[in-house]
Amino acid sequence: MGASLGGLHAITTMLQAIPATLPVPILIVQHRGTTSDQGLVAVLQDQTALKVVEAEDKVPLAAGTVYIAAPDYHLLVEAPGEVALSTDAPLRSARPSIDVLFETAAEAYGAGVLGVLLTGGSADGASGLARIKALGGRAIVQDPATAECATMPAAGIAAAPVDYILPLESIGEYLVTLVEGTRV
């Protein structure tokens, strides 16, 4: 999942609808300052039953856990079930970059990945969403009309054949039904 401007509200709204029993991990890139502390993890943990942690290099992924990209590090999926951190150059002026997460997740999981692009003020995430679709994954984008800043979701819709364009309040619940296979 990726978000920028308005992302805290969007992410908390979405996570509140997801039970702790979700059988997959959730990886999130939220654009934030390079000196951010663990405050984002604490705020999110207070809003969800899922376990929320800041991603660490070479840590295996666990179901029912939300991994937040560390400030000033790209979050990559190196292989199915494992993440890595990188200090490679910012992409589209962002580190962490949503595109980096989406592209590496698509490479690792192929058709098994779900990309979720939320509110934001840049086009970061759009090309990564296109890569997810190119490798058979599914794409969910927040309806730009419900986004605090419509630039990012609109860029995602323009870049990829998006599967679902949903209002913010519906994304978490819909994500659960997709993961659990109760709706396609």
Active site residues: 4, 31, 124
The alpha carbon of residue 29 and the mean position of all alpha carbons in its chain are separated, in whole angstroms, by 6
CB neighbour list of residue 133: distance below 8 Å, 6 or more residues apart = 139, 160, 161, 162
Question: Interhelix angle for 7-15 vs 168-180, to 10°?
Answer: 40
DSSP H helices, 117-167, are 126-134, 151-159
User: For residues 146 and 167, is the Cβ–Cβ distance under 8 A?
Assistant: yes
Structure tokens at 26: 């959730």
Paired with 166 in beta bridges are 142
CA distance 20 to 119: 24
CA distance 121 to 102: 18
